[in-house]
């Protein structure tokens, strides 16, 4: 059974016929987006209604209230005049109890430099004052109604702890900024192991992010993740409820050497036996002692100077995705 569309009531002042036409077009665009949007003239044109009861019911019961601010709206709101004044009174408990229900649009050019109703000051708004930007602002409005984050933010990385500075940088020692200064202390085994361990967790976080996107776009895909220890994790992938493949990824080493990330894939994997692997991720150190990752067993593409994001893409593209088709 389909869910009823969310209801949106538009509060505005009768500034002019042109302004009322703008409100009508806004309401219709919202209806095109799947919202049960309406305004007073859309309601009163079909039946005789008690205006106060109509405003109370929509302000109280609708999912969202859009207030379109102009100079005349502000004057009526501050003076509690007419329908705008009555809706102002009705909006006061909403501001205190459910502020997300209110969405403020500014319609008049340079409106911010003029007046905002006293009870709405300090609340963020969408600026519809420039007609040329209407489509862009309307898209922001739809994001707001859908409660969807408009801009994708990166996952939170691992905090890099700063150490106290040993000297104050002056203009004199900026001379060296263009010179090639060698690093004469090679990284230790501890440095390499710490780097691979940090990237192990970043790779797991990256795989989780990719798999959650696949799951959100494919209702018949599911995955399970089990952390066997702080250094070993197993994923199981299901399509239509049937296990298609598994991935075991862990921190290991060969013959007591430096730590490396190892992984194996397939319909059957032995959680306790780490002798069988499909790939590995190693630490690379360049001539300037900078760290990067490498996948020496990777036959599909470049295997050196990789970031953890590159490793995530390689594992997903060549060791997970083929089993899901």
112-158 pLDDT per residue, tens: 445 688 888 888 888 888 888 899 999 999 999 998 888 888 888 88
- State the alpha helices, DSSP H only, in 184-225: 189-217
Confidence of residue 176 (pLDDT cuts 50, 70, 90): low
The tokens describing 185, both together, are: 């202390």
Query: Would the pTM count as exceeding 0.85?
Result: no
Average pLDDT, the chain: 87
- Rounded Cα–Cα distance for residues 317 and 279 (Å): 13
Give the strand pairing for 102-106 and 64-69.
parallel
- Contact criterion met (CB below 8 Å) for 223 and 235: yes
Note the residue count of the chain.
325
Here the tokens at position 221 are: 């895909």
- Residue 257 CA to residue 158 CA, distance in Å, equals 26
CB 306 within 8 A of CB 292: yes
Rounded Cα gap, residues 141 and 55, in angstroms: 22
CA–CA distance, 55 with 15 (Å, rounded to integer):
19
Beta-strand ranges (E) seen in 60-182 are: 64-69, 102-106, 126-127
Q: Are strands 221-229 and 36-38 parallel, antiparallel or unpaired?
A: unpaired
CB count in 10 Å sphere of residue 235? 21
Mean pLDDT of 173-183: 67
Of 22-31, 50-59, 74-83, 177-186, which gets the smallest average pLDDT?
Answer: 177-186
The mean-pLDDT minimum among 57-61, 69-73, 115-119, 219-223 falls in 115-119
What are residue 9's DSSP bridge partners? Answer: 38, 65
Contact 76, 85 (CB under 8 A): yes
Q: Measured in Å, how far apart are the chain's first and last C-alpha atoms?
A: 31
At residue 27 the predicted structure's pLDDT band, cuts being 50, 70 and 90, is very high
Both structure tokens of 125: 């708004």
Identify the H or E element spanning 78.
helix 71-78
Q: Which residues of 287-309 are buried (b: 16+ CB within 10 A; e: fewer)?
A: eeeebbbbbeebeeeebeebebe
Contact (Cβ atoms closer than 8 angstroms) between residue 261 and residue 200 = yes
Structural contact between residues 275 and 172, judged by C-beta atoms closer than 8 angstroms: no
**Residue 280: which H helix or E strand, with range?**
strand 279-285
Spatial distance between the Cα atoms of 9 and 6, rounded to a whole number of angstroms: 10
Report the SS3 class of residue 215. Answer: helix
Going by pLDDT thresholds of 50, 70 and 90, the confidence category of residue 1 is very low
Neighbours of 217 (CB within 10 A): 8
Quick one: pLDDT at residue 57? 86
User: pLDDT value at position 272?
Assistant: 86
Token pair of 296 as six digits: 């020496």
State yes or no: pLDDT of 314 exceeds 90: yes
């Amino acid at each position: 059974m389909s869910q009823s569309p969310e209801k949106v009531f538009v509060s505005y002042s009768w500034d002019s016929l042109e302004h009322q036409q703008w409100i009508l077009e806004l309401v219709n665009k919202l209806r095109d987006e799947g919202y049960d949007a309406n305004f007073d003239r859309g309601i009163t044109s079909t039946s005789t209604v008690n205006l106060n009861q109509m405003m109370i019911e929509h302000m109280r019961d609708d999912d969202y209230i859009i207030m379109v601010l102009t100079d005349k709206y502000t004057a009526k709101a501050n003076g509690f005049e007419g329908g705008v004044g009555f809706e102002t009174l009705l909006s006061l408990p909403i501001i205190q109890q459910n502020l997300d229900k209110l969405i403020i649009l500014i319609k008049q050019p340079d409106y911010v430099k003029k007046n905002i109703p006293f009870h709405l000051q300090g609340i963020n708004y969408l600026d519809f004052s420039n007609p040329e930007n209407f489509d862009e602002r309307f898209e922001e409005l739809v994001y707001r109604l859908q409660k969807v984050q408009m801009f994708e933010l990166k996952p939170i990385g691992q905090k890099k702890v700063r150490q106290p500075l040993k000297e104050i940088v002056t203009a004199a020692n900026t001379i060296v900024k263009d010179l090639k200064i060698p690093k004469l202390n090679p990284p230790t085994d501890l440095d390499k192991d710490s780097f691979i361990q940090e990237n192990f967790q970043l790779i797991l976080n990256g795989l989780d992010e990719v798999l959650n996107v696949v799951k959100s776009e494919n209702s018949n895909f599911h995955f399970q993740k089990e952390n066997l220890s702080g250094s070993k994790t197993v994923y199981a992938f299901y399509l239509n409820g049937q296990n298609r493949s598994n991935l075991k990824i862990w921190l290991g080493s060969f013959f007591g050497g430096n730590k490396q990330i190892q992984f194996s894939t397939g319909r059957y994997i032995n959680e306790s036996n780490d002798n069988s692997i499909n790939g590995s991720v190693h630490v690379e150190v360049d001539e300037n002692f900078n760290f990067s990752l490498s996948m020496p067993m990777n036959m599909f593409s470049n295997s050196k100077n990789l970031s953890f994001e590159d490793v995530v893409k390689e594992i997903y593209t060549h060791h997970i995705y083929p089993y899901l088709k």
